[in-house]
Amino acid sequence: MKHGPDIAQIAALIGDLARANILTALMAGHALTATELAAEAGVTAQTASAHLAKLEQGGLLQTRKQGRHKYASLASEDVARVLESLMGLAAKTGQLRSKPGPKDARLRAARICYNHLAGAKGVQLYRALLAQGVLTVAAKGPALTPAGRDFVTAFGIDLAALEARKTPLCRDCLDWSERRSHLAGSLGRALLARFEALGWATRLADSRIIAFTAKGEAGFAQTFPNPE
């Protein structure tokens, strides 16, 4: 008898095409109804509800009821990290969808990965933070340096509030299109929120695309220059 986590069960949940489409749709970080997810998965609302029940039971998503509607979202950032890594593996092995989306240049440039910045911009951000000594790579992943604490605070982020949360401050997440890491964790989320607050970037409706303004492009390039 084998011991340890049953990865086959999780793989089976993700491996169904309709459920994979549902999970991918939730990568934008929004809570969606069964009807909305049915359209994303190409199945009936009744079938989508059955899939949602299995995914919730398997711990991959969570649901909450508000008014007449029941909304679904990913259970945690860990789930998003696994999905992003699987997207990278699928792209690397040539398992690409025939419909547009992953081939969209705007998605590759900057997109939301559950709650943080991904794509070329996300990778540039992560690499710049490492090059500037804001982050260092520790045994358990990226960690904020003493100088980095000053940098983050000066950039307008309440570091004490982030550290008071249960979510890890810094985590790396494999970017599916760039095949390099970008920054996740509560700091990754806070940085994206700060970009939005500064008017540097906006989220396109019904999409994972993050659009940077001209002001944002200039500010981002100056603050987080590409180390390459």
Which one, of 164, 30, 15, lies nearest residue 95 by Cα?
15
pLDDT value for 26: 86
Q: Which two structure tokens, joined as six digits, stand for 70?
A: 């029941």
Give all domains of the chain, ordered by start, each with its CATH number. 7-75 (1.10.10.10), 80-223 (no CATH)
pLDDT digits (tens, 9 = 90+) for 107-163: 889 999 888 999 999 999 999 999 999 999 887 889 999 999 999 999 999 999 999
Residue 38 has pLDDT above 80, yes or no: yes
Whether the model clears a pTM of 0.75, i.e. scores above it, the answer is no
pLDDT value for 102: 44
Residue 197: its H or E element = helix 185-197
pLDDT value for 28: 76
167: left (phi over 0), alpha (psi -120 to 50) or beta: beta
Distance CA 225, CA 228 (A): 9
Q: Which amino acid type is present at position 11?
A: A
pLDDT digits (tens, 9 = 90+) for 68-97: 778 898 888 888 888 877 877 776 666 655
Q: Within the chain, how many helices (H) and strands (E) appear?
A: 11, 11
Distance CA 61, CA 56 (A): 5
51 close to 19: Cβ distance less than 8 angstroms:
yes
